[in-house]
Amino acid sequence: MDNSAILRQVRTRRKEIAITFDDGPNADYTPAILTMLSEVSGKATFYMIGEQIEANPDVVRAVDKEGHEIGNHTYSHPYLTRISPNECRQELKRTDTLIRKLTGKRPLTFRPPYLDYNEEVIAISKGEGYQMIGALNTETRDWEQPGADYILDKSLAHIGQGNILLFHDGYGDRSQTLQAFGRLLGILDERGYRLVTVSEMLASDRSE
């Protein structure tokens, strides 16, 4: 299988990093993250689930209004390798339509739920015009609430130019993620990193 089809980092000469959030939008945690990002003039990419978009349209608009990127994370968060190609395609199309309706913009990037994909998913993603996005710090497992210190430590190991980091703002208690993220923001600021969206980092790669 072509593992290069999913990007975990982008080649760039600039000191920038892409923070991403999965499984939102959430009425409590997503706005809190937006506030934290605004305090450091940072941007992030939010991989949203269609069902959660329908439940929290105002949060979607707020994310877009503040200049963050919204990516496609399917409609119902299935394991894409366990459903038919047509069902997979509909999962993407349905969420694409919702994002366009609320923001007027077409999502450019896609993250498969559970980072579960195969050649068929890669082909469908490309066919729908998406760049598929992974992450480097998957061992943080912040969705399991392993503790803010653990989440932070596992993320610090992957700080680097052009790197893509993954956290979660939806489903369950995300207070540990917010604690770790707040501390991470301070460290990134001290080290001189600029927080950009995934698409912005991809664009800077192509311009160099």
Residue 48 dihedral angles phi and psi, to the nearest 5°? -100, 145
Q: How far apart are CA 161 and CA 34, in angstroms?
A: 22
The pLDDT-based confidence of 1 (bands split at 50, 70, 90) is: low
* Known catalytic membership, residue 22: yes
pLDDT at 208 over 60: no
| pLDDT, tens digit, 9 for 90 and up, residues 115-129 | 999 999 999 999 999
Q: Catalytic pick from 68, 73, 158, 168?
A: 168
Q: How far, in whole angstroms, is CA 123 from its chain's centroid?
A: 20
- Domains of the chain with CATH codes: 3-207 (3.20.20.370)
- Work out the angle between the directed axes of helices 85-103 and 57-65 (0-180°, nearest 10): 70
Structure confidence at residue 204 as a pLDDT band (50, 70, 90)? confident
Q: Which element (helix H / strand E) includes 205?
A: helix 198-207
Q: Is the pLDDT of residue 206 over 70?
A: no
68 in active site: no
Catalytic residue among 22, 96, 142, 169: 22
What is the per-residue pLDDT across 24-68, written as a single tens digit (0 to 9) for each? 999 999 999 999 999 999 999 999 999 999 999 999 999 999 999
Instruction: Assign 160 a pLDDT band (cuts: 50, 70, 90).
Output: very high
- Sign for the CA dihedral angle at 106, 111, 113, 116 comes to positive
